[in-house]
């Protein structure tokens, strides 16, 4: 009986080990590392998704300053354009979810970003929603926080004592013709068109082509969601990414090792979004991810064995938040 149990246990252990080795071969993580190094990108990459957006209101100054000070490699932002032509960091189509637009401009609460001037955007409170939704993480100084311009995010990234990258998404680019050239122009003006510290990203192939035209040396990540994977198939998306960019940014649900392996073998870097739990970091890292977009850059750094310079609370206090 004991001999039979130990035989079964040995077979199970062997099968698990064989599966683990197979997954690593299929995922080809060394090709992802090589592609990252060839492009001068950080490997593995800690990409602070809308800043340290678990601990501070997304895409605001404290979110980006905290991510920078914690040691994130890239600050992630979604860029849109106001009605008077200013580039701002904002994710949603409207301001409804995370500002007081319904109180300030009741008749226009559902309007699109492009319907507001910069002065109107700057009059919104982009912090109080966070305090109301997350009382455990609320801070008095979050009240009244402003939406940032692209220039302001660039300034935050540039104020670090070390090079901090920017990972810039053109959000809804079909609504903003020419925005890629404007983003590139703004970065150039600020001396931030450095391919080793900058990545462009988009769900739109056309937008990535426009980035390629405006700044060919800067890496470009083709973002992929579940619907795109269902509609086009993974291989089709890898082909498109290889044609117009240098990497893929799949949602975690489609980041299977065989998918990541195909992308790696096509010479692409794979950064998975939006991953916030340590068990997910472990699993997807094992599946070959070259880095993550995360709201929890604090936990991701810890996962990669990188010690932050200070505790998040101390950093926020140091910068008067
Ligand atoms: O940019 C990576 C990830 O942010 C894409 O999703 O909707 O958060 O911009 P989203
Ligand atoms: Ca984004």
- pLDDT for the residue numbered 210: 98
Q: Quick one: which atom of ligand 1 is closest to the CA of 171?
A: 9
Report the residue among 48, 49, 74 best suited for mutation to probe ligand 1: largest number of ligand atoms under 8 A from its CB.
49
Question: Tokens at residue 317, please?
Answer: 């206090």
Residue nearest to atom 7 of ligand 1 (CA): 91
Of 131, 133, 153, the C-alpha closest to 143 is 131
Q: Quick one: which atom of ligand 1 is closest to the CA of 169?
A: 1
The rounded distance, in Å, linking the Cα atoms of 194 and 189 is: 12
Q: Name the phi and psi angles at 136, rounded to 5.
A: -70, -20
Residue 308 has a CB neighbour count (10 Å cut-off) of 17
The one-character DSSP state at 165 is: E
At 11-65, the pLDDT tens digits run: 878 887 777 777 878 898 999 999 999 999 999 999 999 999 999 999 999 999 9
- pLDDT for the residue numbered 18: 74
- pLDDT for the residue numbered 43: 98
Of 123, 121, 127, 96, the C-alpha closest to 111 is 96
The rounded distance, in Å, linking the Cα atoms of 50 and 167 is: 10
Residues of the chain with pLDDT under 70: none
The yes-or-no answer on residue 264 being catalytic is no
- pLDDT for the residue numbered 316: 98
Which domains occur in the chain, in start order?
Answer: 29-82+148-318 (3.20.20.190)
- pLDDT for the residue numbered 24: 78
- pLDDT for the residue numbered 161: 85
Residue 96 has a CB neighbour count (10 Å cut-off) of 14
At 139-166, the pLDDT tens digits run: 999 999 999 999 999 999 999 888 899 9
Ligand 1 shell residues, CB under 6 Å: 49, 76, 78, 91, 169, 201, 223, 249, 273-274, 293
Strand ranges in 146-272 using DSSP code E only, listed in sequence order:
165-170, 198-202, 220-224, 247-250, 269-270
């Amino acid at each position: 009986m004991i001999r039979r149990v130990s035989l079964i246990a040995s077979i199970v252990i062997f099968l698990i080990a064989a599966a683990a080795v197979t997954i690593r071969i299929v995922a080809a993580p060394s090709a992802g590392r090589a592609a990252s190094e060839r492009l001068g990108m950080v490997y593995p990459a800690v990409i602070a998704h809308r800043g340290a957006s678990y601990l501070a209101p997304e895409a605001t100054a404290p979110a980006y300053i905290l991510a920078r000070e914690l040691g994130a490699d890239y600050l992630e932002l979604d860029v849109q354009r106001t009605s008077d032509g200013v580039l701002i960091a904002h994710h949603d189509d409207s301001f409804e979810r995370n500002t007081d637009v319904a109180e300030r401009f009741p008749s226009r609460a559902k309007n699109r970003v492009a319907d507001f001037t910069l002065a109107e955007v700057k009059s919104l409170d982009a912090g109080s929603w966070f305090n109301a939704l997350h009382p455990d993480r609320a801070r008095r100084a979050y009240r009244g926080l402003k939406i940032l311009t692209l220039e302001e995010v660039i300034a935050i990234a540039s104020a670090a004592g070390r090079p901090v990258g920017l990972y810039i998404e053109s959000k809804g680019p079909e609504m903003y013709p020419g925005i890629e050239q404007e983003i590139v122009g703004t970065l150039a003006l600020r001396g931030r068109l450095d391919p080793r510290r900058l990545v462009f990203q988009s769900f739109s192939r056309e937008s990535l082509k426009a980035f390629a035209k405006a700044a060919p040396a800067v890496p470009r990540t083709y973002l992929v969601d579940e619907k795109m994977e269902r509609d086009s198939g993974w291989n089709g998306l890898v082909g498109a990414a290889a044609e117009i960019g240098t990497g893929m940014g799949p949602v975690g649900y489609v980041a299977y090792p065989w998918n990541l392996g195909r992308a790696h073998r096509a010479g692409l870097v794979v950064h998975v979004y939006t991953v916030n739990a340590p068990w997910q970091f472990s699993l997807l890292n094992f599946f070959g991810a070259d880095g993550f977009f995360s709201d929890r850059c604090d936990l991701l750094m810890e996962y990669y064995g990188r010690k932050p310079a200070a505790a998040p609370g101390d950093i926020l206090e140091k910068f008067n938040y």
